[in-house]
Amino acid sequence: MRLMRTSKQLTVTYFSIVAFAIIAFHFSMLVSMIENMESIYAKTRMDKDIATATDMFQGTTLSHVTVPPFSDAYLGKQNLPVWVVLKDDVSDDKPYHLDSDSDTNLEFFSMVKKVVINGQARDLYLIHYDEIYETSEAKMFDTQTTQLAISLLLLVVSLWVVMRISSRLTAPLSSLSKNLASRSPEDFAPIPVPDGAATREIHQLVERLNSYQSQIRSLIDRERAFNRNASHELRTPLMVMRGGLTLLAKSDSKEFIERQRQRMMHACQEMEDYIKTLLSLTRDEDTESLSLRILTEAELQLICSAHMDFRPKSDVLLETVVEGTVATKLPLPTLHILIGNLVKNALSCTESGSIKLIMQDNVIKVVDTGCGLQGKPSGESYGLGLMIVRDICSKYHCQFSLVDNDTVGCTASIVFPAE
């Protein structure tokens, strides 16, 4: 397993690499600059001394002359001092350091050039040593060493500053990590912003974590509510079927048997619609690919008739009113569950009066004369119903609202998206 490093370790590692690169570049540039300056100076000085030595050899039989203040000139390689050893790869008109086998510890330069002395072509060897330049070079190295020491000190200070900044940036993350590690799975309280969080990114991270935690809490609450209330929605069809089977065993009347059969078929269909709707809410599907259809008055009447048994009293009037058309992409079972839950919710809250299922242009309304939002229904409460309504509306981009009427009761509205 690869060893994970802390941010401070990575900071020190990367900073050390950069610092080493800067020092190496600075040193290489210094050496290159000094060598280039030394070669240029030696070349210029020795060219001048060779010209002077050539004039000094003219009209004489000398093989060695001294060119003040730093050079000695020799005609022919055989006249060079024994302590001078030239490099093998020397070429004309270029200055070279003496070979390391030379018997000297000083940095002498040598240069050879073809010259004409007394009408004869000769090889002129110039040996050059500038004590003043070498002393200046040593002082230059001393100066650069001081500068290098200052640069190292600045790098150490910079490293300290970077470590402080790194610590300030990472300390809130460490604190946040410890906070999250200490939380229990049931703790969904908002995560506080860590102390010392001075950057916008830390605040944004905490906001995103709180938002994500809120979504998880909402999902868990929905799952718990579903587990708690699903039985209320699915128990009724099962009870109808069980009751129908019990009654079938006690009667031989064909009309009675047919009526019970229709009740059980309706209960099975209702359970199937619920299961399809609940499963569709748990999976992703491309709602844009669904086909568009027109909701008919017959479908509304069918939904109303299917829920007549939920009336607390038989004098509660349940009617449909058509004032426009609704075009929707909702699957048929899902649409029936959506409107049916609003109707059942209204029936459970209405002991007298009427309930109107109104269809307007792209709007479905259920208006009742019941206890309203502040009242307590006397009938069975369908806690899962409105939650399913909200989930269906959210998935299919509908707008759901539930408000009190001006007088009595309340109005549930579903606004379908304009297709």
What's the pLDDT score for residue 186? 76
Q: What pairing do the DSSP bridges indicate for beta strands 354-360 and 363-368?
A: antiparallel
Which of 278, 277, 350 has its CA nearest to residue 307?
350
HEC sequence for the chain: CCCCCCHHHHHHHHHHHHHHHHHHHHHHHHHHHHHHHHHHHHHHHHHHHHHHHHHHHCCCCCCEEEECCCEEEEECHHHCCCCCCCCCCCCCCCCEECCCCCCCCCCCEEEEEEEEECCEEEEEEEEECCHHHHHHHHHHHHHHHHHHHHHHHHHHHHHHHHHHHHHHHHHHHHHHHHHHHHCCCCCCCCCCCCCCCCCHHHHHHHHHHHHHHHHHHHHHHHHHHHHHHHHHHHHHHHHHHHHHHHHHCCCCCHHHHHHHHHHHHHHHHHHHHHHHHHHHHCCCCCHHHCCCEEECHHHHHHHHHHCHHHCCCCCCEEEEEECCCEEECCCHHHHHHHHHHHHHHHHHHCCCCEEEEEEECCEEEEEECCCCCCCCCCCCCCHHHHHHHHHHHHHCCCEEEEEECCCCCEEEEEECCCC
Domains of the chain by start residue, with CATH: 7-148 (no CATH), 289-415 (3.30.565.10)
Q: What is the pLDDT of residues 92-136, one digit of tens each?
A: 778 888 888 888 877 788 888 888 888 888 888 888 877 666 665
Evaluate the CA torsion angle 344, 345, 350, 353 in order and state its sign: negative
Instruction: Name the nearest CA neighbour of 303 among 355, 349, 236, 257.
Output: 355
Tell me the C-alpha distance between 333 and 273, whole Å.
5
The C-alpha R_g of the chain, in whole angstroms, comes to: 50
pTM over 0.85: no
Burial of 138 (0-12, 13-18, 19+ CB in 10 A): exposed
Per residue in 146-161, pLDDT (tens digit) is 777 777 787 788 878 8
Instruction: Decide if 224 contacts 186 (C-beta within 8 A).
Output: no
Q: Would you state the pLDDT for residue 382?
A: 46
- pLDDT tens-place values along the chain, 419 residues long: 456 666 667 777 777 787 777 777 777 777 777 677 777 777 888 888 888 888 888 888 888 898 888 888 998 888 888 888 888 777 777 888 888 888 887 778 888 888 888 888 888 888 887 766 666 556 666 666 777 777 778 778 887 887 777 777 777 777 778 878 888 777 778 878 777 666 777 788 888 888 888 888 877 776 766 666 566 666 667 777 777 777 777 777 778 777 777 778 877 877 777 777 777 766 666 667 778 889 988 888 888 887 776 665 667 888 899 999 999 988 888 888 889 889 888 888 888 888 899 999 999 999 988 888 876 665 444 456 787 888 888 888 899 999 988 888 899 999 998 86
User: What pLDDT does residue 380 have?
Assistant: 47
Q: pLDDT value at position 177?
A: 80
CB 110 within 8 A of CB 84: yes
Using CA atoms, how far apart are residues 145 and 123, in angstroms rounded to an integer? 41
